[in-house]
């Protein structure tokens, strides 16, 4: 049958593309396509060569396992070729594999060794008389790179086999990988050194093992898992693959604990489903499951084709990486006001689901990866992890690709966007008004150490916001018993109690109110410092950065947060609504030695009837007093409630003035 010219051209194009991608992956450690895209190219070429056998040539990528070794390393010829593994991408293809095996063996059912397909770099370790003498990469399956010096730095590679009885020559084969934790640690190290982070653990492992300087490899947290053997001379091994792995484990090799023998196709399918469910929880990446005929005599009968044994297959998981196009980049506002860029993608099936969005984390990350609107990108999704863009395919960048610019106004409420120097996250400053932050702001506002609105818990806040009853924090003070009683799990008594708690919260301190506003990095201590320094809210709202930075413990970053918060008209409007609703606090003079109790030192003991100890402390501090936890000769007053402790006796011994609760309340009211 004559081969159409278009087919010949397509075969030539496919071979060039695959050779190029092999070079990028194996030699440069810098792939520009996803695994799924590479698999599609290879399968298309395999299909065409199967339909037109005359097109098959010895140098076709289908006849090779990998790529040529890098010349910087010495060359190693594998005594037993390190062949590739055929892939099965569906249950039907796995069933076809099992059928072919059974038919060739003439049996009804076959035992298989089932193991995860680790996603790293295949390596061969040669042991002579139990001592490691050489480590080599797979290379093209027949010739690899001598990486002995680098392999010796991997702690999970035994330099000498344990026990006795090992063959004179034993070639152990396995995968060099980086765990998720190791990958994250390595990338943190790369960024700290100002170097480019790795795209994924697989490429990081390959790049780490193939360093010309073994000292660099030694710094990388590489791991090695054994999955089989190659050449064996001068000794015997068990006649089943699973038993060989058990023997290798006894000799000190690291073998994955979850490898086991399964019965027939049903056993294979069950193991595949189990590993697919566990995939996201594993400490390392796997991209499928490998099934090997367990009996070595049956493996010998089945033999091999040009590039792969007939007795093994890899049942691949849905691709975790795919290529697609960035339609647009939009910004989402989180519950704390953080602005997160999100890529809107051409729909692509990856990780078992159709993905249309991917996080870009922050503006710096977009710049680092150079993601532009219109780019073709590689998207990764692992388990339930939010999809992310791992790399841009620069070769496919269109001329009209547009750079992303972070908005200066919040896309939800229109408030200013703040990004403090040295921080990577941009944030909306409209905290009291922005709908995106509403629920979290209300929860914080009502919390015990803020406005202390007892009964206004998380679930009730969710209901109030979702039903549109609270548009901003000030709306809390418009709630009435009838409205609240209609909510889920809120009877008349609960509604009345909550309204009473809301009413009580109107009488507060300036420090509590400032903390309740949720200004970034203004915690309780900073709120107290601001309240003491300014005495009231109005002068604080008018203060500039220079004035704020004169206060102890308030630096330029916190000062900028405060100024930006009060600059927003929406925030000022909500504060004014709360003031009109009756929220108030005792005013005091600015801290300059003035204030009714300025400079006086108080200690509290026992239980007060009309307020908590925290409230008493806040009232005192609002009037310029200092509150201590222990009595000393410098203490001016001891406030005594019910069941006082040892502080009372010490105060009497030192002659400290003692106030009961009535006297204390009178002092506060002066």
Query: What are the tens digits of pLDDT across the range 320-358?
Result: 788 999 999 999 998 778 999 999 999 998 877 789 999
Higher pLDDT, 310 or 617: 310
Phi, psi torsion values for 169, nearest 5 degrees: -125, 125
Residue 82 — pLDDT band, cuts 50, 70, 90? very high
pLDDT interval class at 521 (50, 70, 90):
confident
Q: What is the per-residue pLDDT for 72? A: 75
H-only helix segments in 89-200: 91-105, 148-151, 180-192
Is the pLDDT at 443 greater than 80, yes or no? yes
Residue 104 — pLDDT band, cuts 50, 70, 90?
A: very high
- pLDDT category, 38, cuts 50, 70, 90? confident
* pLDDT, greater one: 268 or 432: 268
Strands 111-118 vs 286-293: parallel, antiparallel or unpaired: antiparallel
Residues 6+ apart with CB under 8 A from 345: 324, 325, 326, 327, 355, 356, 357, 358, 377, 379
pLDDT category at 46 given cuts 50, 70, 90 is: confident
pLDDT band, very low/low/confident/very high, at 383 (cuts 50, 70, 90): low
Fold (topology level) of 601-669: Rossmann fold (3.40.50)
- Residue 262: is its pLDDT beyond 90? yes
The residue-averaged pLDDT of 566-581 equals 94
Tokens coding 362:
């922050």
105 touches 33 (CB < 8 A) = no
Tokens describing residue 600: 């006086």
| pLDDT of 592 higher than 70 | no
**Length of the chain as a residue count:** 670
Catalytic residue among 71, 117, 617, 670: 117
Class of domain 322-396 (CATH, top level): mainly beta
Which fold would CATH assign to domain 429-592? Answer: DNA polymerase; domain 1 (1.10.150)
**pLDDT at residue 64 is higher than 70:** no
Residue 586's pLDDT is 87
CA distance 10 to 70: 29
Q: What is the mean pLDDT of residues 111-115?
A: 97
Is residue 205 within 8 Å of residue 222, measured between CB atoms? yes
Q: How far is CA 434 from CA 412, 416, 428, 446, 579, in A?
A: 7, 11, 8, 17, 19
The residues facing 131 across adjacent strands are 128, 160
Q: DSSP readout, 607-665?
A: B-SSS-HHHHHHHHHHTT-EEESS--TT--EEEE-BS--THHHHHHHHT-EEE-HHHHH
DSSP designation for 506: T
Tell me, what's the pLDDT at 593?
Answer: 44
Mean pLDDT of 422-439: 87
* Domain limits, the chain: 5-63, 75-80+88-316, 322-396, 429-592, 601-669
CATH of 5-63, one of 3.30.70.890, 1.10.287.610, 3.40.50.720, 3.40.50.1820: 1.10.287.610
Confidence class for position 66, pLDDT limits 50, 70, 90:
low
Share above pLDDT 90 across residues of the chain, in percent, rounded to a whole number: 53
Instruction: Give the pLDDT confidence of 626-657 residue by residue, as tens digits.
Output: 888 889 988 999 999 988 888 999 999 999 99
Cα separation of 221 and 186, whole Å? 8
Q: Which residue has the tokens 């939009």?
A: 330
SS (H, E, C) 539-566: HHHHCCHHHHCCCCCCCHHHHHHHHHHH
pTM of the predicted structure, to 2 decimals: 0.56
At residue 666, does pLDDT exceed 80? yes
> pLDDT of 156-211, one tens digit each?
898 889 889 999 999 999 999 999 999 999 988 888 888 888 878 888 898 888 88
Q: Which pLDDT score is estimated for 420?
A: 80
How many Å apart are CA 455 and CA 549, to the nearest integer?
38
Spell out the long-range contacts of 66-69 with Cβ–Cβ below 8 A and sequence spacing 24 or more.
66/22, 66/26, 66/138, 66/139, 66/140, 66/141, 67/22, 67/23, 67/25, 67/26, 67/27, 67/139, 67/140, 68/27, 68/139, 68/140, 68/143, 69/137, 69/139, 69/140, 69/143, 69/144, 69/145
75-80+88-316, superfamily in CATH?
A: DNA ligase/mRNA capping enzyme (3.30.470.30)
pLDDT for 198: 82
What's the CA gap between 204 and 226, in Å, rounded? Answer: 19
pLDDT tens string 312-326: 999 998 777 889 999
pLDDT at 496 over 60: yes
User: Residue 573 is encoded by which pair of tokens?
Assistant: 């409007």
3-state helix, strand, coil split of the chain in percent (to 5) is 40, 20, 40
Angle at 289 between CA 288 and CA 294, to 5 degrees: 160
Establish whether 117 is a catalytic residue. yes
Return mean pLDDT, the chain.
Answer: 89
Helix (H, G, I), strand (E, B) or coil at 142: coil
Q: Token pair 């918060």 is at which residue?
A: 565
Residue closest to 121 by CA, chosen among 201, 197, 206: 206
**Burial (0-12, 13-18, 19+ Cβ within 10 Å), 340:** middle
Q: In the predicted model, what is the mean pLDDT of residues 145-149? A: 91
Cα distance between the two ends of the chain: 108
Q: What is the pLDDT of residue 480?
A: 93
Confidence check: pLDDT of 625 > 90: no
């Amino acid at each position: 049958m004559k081969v159409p010219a278009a087919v010949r051209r397509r075969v030539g194009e496919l071979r060039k593309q695959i050779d190029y991608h092999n070079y990028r992956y194996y030699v440069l450690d810098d792939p520009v396509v996803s695994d799924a895209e590479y698999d599609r190219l290879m399968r298309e070429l395999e299909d065409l060569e199967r339909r037109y056998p005359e097109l098959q040539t010895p140098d076709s990528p289908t006849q090779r396992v990998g790529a040529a070794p890098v010349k910087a390393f010495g060359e190693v010829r594998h005594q037993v070729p390190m062949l590739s593994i055929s892939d099965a991408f569906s249950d039907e293809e796995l069933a076809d594999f099992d059928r072919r095996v059974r038919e060739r063996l003439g049996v009804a059912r076959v035992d298989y060794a089932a193991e995860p397909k680790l996603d790293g770099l295949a390596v061969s370790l040669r042991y002579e008389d139990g001592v490691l003498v050489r480590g080599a990469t797979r290379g093209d399956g027949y010739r690899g790179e001598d990486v002995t010096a680098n392999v010796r730095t991997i702690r999970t590679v035994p330099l000498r086999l344990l026990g006795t009885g090992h063959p004179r020559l034993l070639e152990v084969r396995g995968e060099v990988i980086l765990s998720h934790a190791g990958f994250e640690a390595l990338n943190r190290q790369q960024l700290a050194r100002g170097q480019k982070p790795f795209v994924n653990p697989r490429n990081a492992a390959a790049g780490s093992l193939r360093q010309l300087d073994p000292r660099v490899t030694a710094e990388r947290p590489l791991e090695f898992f054994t999955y089989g053997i190659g050449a064996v001379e001068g000794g015997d091994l068990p006649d089943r693959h699973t038993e060989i792995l058990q023997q290798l484990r006894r000799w000190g090799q690291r073998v994955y604990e979850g490898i086991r023998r399964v019965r027939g196709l049903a056993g294979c399918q069950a193991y595949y489903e189990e590993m697919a469910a566990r995939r996201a929880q594993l400490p390392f990446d796997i991209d499928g499951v490998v099934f090997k005929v367990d009996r070595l005599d049956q493996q010998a009968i089945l033999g091999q084709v040009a590039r792969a044994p007939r007795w093994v297959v890899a049942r691949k998981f849905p691709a975790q990486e795919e290529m697609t196009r960035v339609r647009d980049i939009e910004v989402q506002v989180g519950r704390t006001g953080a602005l997160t860029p999100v890529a809107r993608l051409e729909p692509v099936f990856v990780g078992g689901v159709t993905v249309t969005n991917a996080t870009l984390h922050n503006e710096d990350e977009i710049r680092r990866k150079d993601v532009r609107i219109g780019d073709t990108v590689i998207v990764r999704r692992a388990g339930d992890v939010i999809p992310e863009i791992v790399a841009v395919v620069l070769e496919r960048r269109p001329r009209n690709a547009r750079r992303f610019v972070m908005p200066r106004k919040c896309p939800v409420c229109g408030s200013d966007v703040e990004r403090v120097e040295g921080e990577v996250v941009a944030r909306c400053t409209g905290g009291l008004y922005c709908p995106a932050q509403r629920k979290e702001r209300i929860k914080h506002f009502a919390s015990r150490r803020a406005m202390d609105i007892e009964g206004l818990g998380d679930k009730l806040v969710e209901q109030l916001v979702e039903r549109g009853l609270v548009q901003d924090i000030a709306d809390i003070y418009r709630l009435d018993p009838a409205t609240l009683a209609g909510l889920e799990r809120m009877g008349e008594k609960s509604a009345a109690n909550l309204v009473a708690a809301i009413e009580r919260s109107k009488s507060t301190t300036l420090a509590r109110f400032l903390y309740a506003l949720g200004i970034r990095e203004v915690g309780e201590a900073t709120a107290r410092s601001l309240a003491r320094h300014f005495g009231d809210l109005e002068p604080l709202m008018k203060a500039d950065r220079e004035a704020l930075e004169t206060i102890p413990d308030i630096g330029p970053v916190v000062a900028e947060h405060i100024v930006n918060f009060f600059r927003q008209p929406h925030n000022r409007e909500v504060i004014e609504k709360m003031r009109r609703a009756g929220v108030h606090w005792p005013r005091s003079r600015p801290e300059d030695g003035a204030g009714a109790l300025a400079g006086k030192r108080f200690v509290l003991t026992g239980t007060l009837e009309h307020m908590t100890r925290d409230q008493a402390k806040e009232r005192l501090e609002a009037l310029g007093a200092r509150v201590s936890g222990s009595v000393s000769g410098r203490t001016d007053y001891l406030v005594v409630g019910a069941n006082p402790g040892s502080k009372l006796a010490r105060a009497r011994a030192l002659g400290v003035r003692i106030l009961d609760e009535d006297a204390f309340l009178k002092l506060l009211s002066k």
